[in-house]
Structure 1
Amino acid sequence: MEKRLPRSAMIFSLGFVFMLVCAVGAFFYGVKIGTSKTETKYEMKELKSASAENNRPYQQQDLVSFYHTVFLPYREFQSKWDDAVSGFELSDGGSASSILKDLANLAHAKKSEAASVDLQQSPLLGEAQNDYIRSLGQFEQAAKAAAAQAKSTSGSELTGKIKQLDSYRLAVSQSLAAQQSYYTAMMKWGATVDPNIPTDYAMPKVIEVKKWTSLPLIVKNKLMADQLASREQLTVFYPQDLTSRIDKFISSGQQAKLNLTTISAIAELLMDTEAVRSGDFADNHTTLYKQDLLPQLPFFS
C-alpha cells in the first residue's frame, strides 16, 4: 500500500525548495550587482584618468621633445623645399624634376621621423604632431605631381603650378595649423609658471597697439602664429621673428609716423614689404625681451 507524506511535511518540503530557489537567485543577483558596480568604478576611474590627462599641465620637457622629434624634422624639410622652389626659375625642367623627386623622398623620410614618437599624451602637441605628419605627406604628393609636370614646364611657370596644386595648399594649411597648436601649447605651459599669462587667448579681430604692448611675449608669439595661419602662407621666419619686428617697429616710432593703430595692419605691412627675416627675434632678444618668460627651446636662444 502506497504511503503518502503528511500535509505538513509536503508544505515544509515545498517551502524549503522555494527558499533554495530564492537563495540561488539572490546569489546570482548579488554577483551581477557587484560586477556592475566594479565595472562602473573602473569606467569612472578611466574617465577621471582621461580627464586628468586632458587637463595635464604642459611641461617644458614636452615642448623640448616635440621640438627635436617633430618640429625640427619638419623645418629641415621646409628649408630644403624653400631653397629648391626659389631656385626653379634658374633651372631647366629636367633638373627641377630630379630635385622634386628628391624632395618627395625627403618628405617621406621626415614624415616617418616625425611619427616615430608618441606625443599624444599632450593634446595640443598630439594635434600638432598629426598635422605636421599630414603636411609632410601632402608635400610628398605635391612634389611627385610637380615632378611629373616639370619636364614640360618652364622654371618660371613651375612655381606657380605647384602653388595651384590641392596637395600643396593642404600641406601649407596643415603646417600652419600645427604651428598654431605648438605655440598655443607654449602659452599654456607659460600659464603654469606665471599667473599673469592666460591659459587661453583667442586672436581678436582687432588688437590695438596699446593692448598689444601690455601682452606677455609668449602670448604675442601665439597671436602671430594665428596671424600667419590666417594669411595661409608659408614663411621662412618664425612667429617670434614677426613679433619682434612689430615691437621694434612700434618702439622706433614708425608706427606713430604712419598712423597705424592695429597690430594686424602693422603685421601685414611688414610681411607685404618683406621686412621680416628669420633671425629678427635673436637680434632683438636682449634689447626687447630680457625679462620675458619663454620655454628653453633652441629657436629662442
Structure 2
Amino acid sequence: MEKRLSRSAMIFSLGFVFMLVCAVGAFFYGVKIGTSKTETKYEMKELKSAAVENNTPYQQQDLVSFYHTVFLPYREFLTEWDDAINDFAQGQSSNASSRLKDLADLAHSQKAEASSFDMQKSPLLGDAQSNFIRSLEQFEQAAKAAAAATVKSTDASKLQSTIEQEQSYLTAVQQSLVAQQSYYSAILKWGATVEPNIPSEYKMPKVIEIKKWSSLPLIVKNKLMADQLAARKQLTIFYPQDLTSRIDDFIASGQPSKMNLKSISAIADLLIETEAVRSGDFITNRTKLYKQELLPQLPFFS
C-alpha cells in the first residue's frame, strides 16, 4: 500500500526546499553584490589614481611654496659654497678649515629648513625636495672631509681640486642637478595647464637645430637647459633660464652662422666653456627677448 506524507510533513518539506532555494539565491546575490562592489571600488581606485596623475597640483602656489621653502635655502647655501670655492681657487685659503666647517654647518641648517615643508603631494616637487635635501647632506660631508684635509696639508693650491674629487661632492652635484630637473619639469607641467600649446613633457633630443629651438616656448627651453646642465654633470651658479637667454641672444646676433654652429648643444658648449653665462642674464634679457612668454611668478624670473 503506497505511503503518503502527512500534511505537516509535506509542509515541512516544502518549507525546507523553499528555504534552501532562498539561501542559494541569497548566496549568489551576495556574491554578485560583493563582486560588483569590489569592481566598483577597484574602478574608483583606478580613476582616483588616474585623476591624481593627471591633475597633480602643479599650481603656481605650489611652485612658489617650493621656491621659498626648499629651493631658496639650497640656493643660499650654493651661493656661499661658490664664493668659497672661488676664493680657494684664487689662493685665499688662509682660513680654509674654518670656512669649510662653517659651510658644513650651513648645509646642515639649510637641509633642516628645506625639510620643514612637505611637498610630497606633488611627485615632481617631492622628488626635487628629496634630492635637494640629499645634495645638502652630501655637501655637508664634502665640507667636513675637506676641512679635515686642510688640517693635514698646508698645500692650499690643491684645495679646490681636492674638494671636487671628493665622492660626496660629486654625489652632491649629481643630486642637485637631478633636483633642478624635477623642479623645471614641474614648472613645465604647470605651463601645460595654462596654455594648450605647451606640452606637459618634453625630452631633449640628441640634436636640436636652431630653427626648432626658436619655435619652442620659453618654458620648454628652460626645462631643456636644466636637462643639458644635468647631462654635463655641471654645477653652476647661474640658472637654466640664464643659459636659455644667452643662447637666444647669441642666435639673435647672427653669430651661429658665422661660426658654423648648427645645434643648440654646440652653442651651449661654447657659452659655458667660455664662461659667457652669468646669473642674472635672463632678467637682463627678459624685456628684449620674452615680452609675451608665459612664466610662473617666481622670484628668479623677475
TM-score normalised to structure 2 length = 0.88
Match of 2:184 in 1: 183
The aligned runs of 1:90-109 (5 Å cut-off) are 90-92=92-94, 95-109=95-109
Q: In the TM superposition, what whole-angstrom CA distance separates every residue of 1:57-106 from its partner, at most 9, and x where no partner exists? A: 621112111111111111111111111222233113xx322222222222
Match of 2:254 in 1: 253
Which structure 2 segments of 5+ residues have no match? none
Q: CA deviation at 1:295?
A: 1.0
Which structure 1 segments of 5+ residues have no match? 1-5
Q: In the TM superposition, what whole-angstrom CA distance separates every residue of 1:190-222 from its partner, at most 9, and x where no partner exists? A: 222222222222101111112111211111111
Q: CA deviation at 1:271?
A: 0.6
1:193 maps onto 2:194 in alignment: yes
Match of 1:65 in 2: 65
1:86 maps onto 2:91 in alignment: no
Pairwise CA RMSD: 2.3
Q: Aligned partners of 1:39, 1:70: CA distance in 2, in Å?
A: 41
Q: Aligned partners of 2:143, 2:219: CA distance in 1, in Å?
A: 35
TM-score normalised to structure 1 length = 0.89
Q: CA deviation at 1:300?
A: 0.7
Q: Aligned partners of 2:247, 2:265: CA distance in 1, in Å?
A: 10
Q: CA deviation at 1:234?
A: 0.6
- The amino acid across from 2:92 in the alignment is L
Cα distance, 1:277–1:25 mapped onto 2, change above 3 Å: same
Cα distance, 1:66–1:18 mapped onto 2, change above 3 Å: same
Q: Aligned partners of 2:35, 2:137: CA distance in 1, in Å?
A: 45
The aligned runs of 1:1-301 (5 Å cut-off) are 8=6, 13=12, 16-17=15-16, 20=19, 23=22, 27=26, 30-31=29-30, 34-56=33-55, 58-88=58-88, 89-92=91-94, 95-153=95-153, 154-301=155-302
Say which is worse superposed, 12-21 or 108-117, in terms of deviation: 12-21
CA contact 1:245–1:281 (8 Å) conserved in 2: yes
Q: Aligned partners of 2:156, 2:28: CA distance in 1, in Å?
A: 78
- The amino acid across from 1:91 in the alignment is S
- The amino acid across from 2:252 in the alignment is S
Q: CA deviation at 1:25?
A: 6.2
CA contact 1:270–1:276 (8 Å) conserved in 2: yes
Q: Number of residues paired by the alignment?
A: 295
Runs of 4+ in structure 1 over 4 Å off = 6-33
Match of 1:3 in 2: none
